Amino acid sequence: MSQFESVRSGALRAGVLVVMLVAAQVHAGVIYHVGESCTNNNAGDVAIGFAQLSVEVSDAGGGLVDFKFVNAGPLASSITDLYWDDGSLLGISSVVSGPGTNFSQGASPGNLPGGNNCSPPFVASAGFSADSNPPTQPNGVNPGEFVTVRFSLIGGQTYADVISELDSGAVRIGIHVQGFASGGSEGFVFVPGLAPTPGAAGLFALAGLLAFRRRR
């Protein structure tokens, strides 16, 4: 290989790397973690929710935004209902169930359980919800699973607008979680700027497990 060919080959490889990095940045999302329990039915279950549950908000392009709900596990819990309260969103474009999950648009109940106890009260926008199909708990987002809901944006609005509104609280996301080992359920709201470290997540999960054992 000549020196010119070697340089050209190196430049091509560098160009491919730059394209890959740019693509990764385009598809990288902003992750929000559970930060408020509107129900507080059980301290151990609330701790599990704080430790395990997150939503990644990413730009899907073409005026679409994806909300990927993840249950990191390992403790028993199942995200069964998803809610939004307005903002730059126009409507649900599609619901993509991951392996082990089965969701469709429209949640029952129509508002986040315990939503009136949130600060400020959580009021789901009409049509801005989805839930797991029967059997509810098995088809929800259990440990190691995910579900993605894709929204269309109002004309002129952008992914950056959505992130800005989520960060300011103009748009909030709520979830109803069932399937805890205690047999209980909780209503949660995601908040910006909260990303527990693995160590903190482990402490939260351990607190939930110990609370459950004490009750037994």
Whole-model pTM?
A: 0.80
pLDDT at 176: 98
What pairing do the DSSP bridges indicate for beta strands 78-84 and 89-97? Answer: unpaired
Distance between CA atoms of residues 53 and 212, nearest Å: 19
Distances in Å between the alpha carbon of 146 and those of 40, 68, 84, 140?
24, 7, 17, 9
CB 32 within 8 Å of CB 193: no
pLDDT at 28: 72
Tokens of 181: 């080992």
Parts of the chain with a pLDDT under 50: 4, 7-26, 196-216
H helix runs in the chain, sequence order:
3-27, 43-52, 136-139, 159-168, 198-215
pLDDT at 100: 98
pLDDT at 88: 87
Interval 180-193: pLDDT, tens: 999 999 999 999 87
pLDDT at 193: 73
Q: 100-128 b/e with 16+ CB inside 10 Å = b?
A: ebbbebebeeebbbbbeebeeebbbeeeb
CB 187 within 8 Å of CB 79: no
Residue 26, C-beta contacts closer than 8 angstroms, at least 6 positions apart: 59, 61
Distance between CA atoms of residues 198 and 213, nearest Å: 22
Could you tell me the end-to-end alpha-carbon distance of the chain, in angstroms, rounded to an integer? 73
Residue 64 has phi, psi (to 5 degrees) of: -120, 145
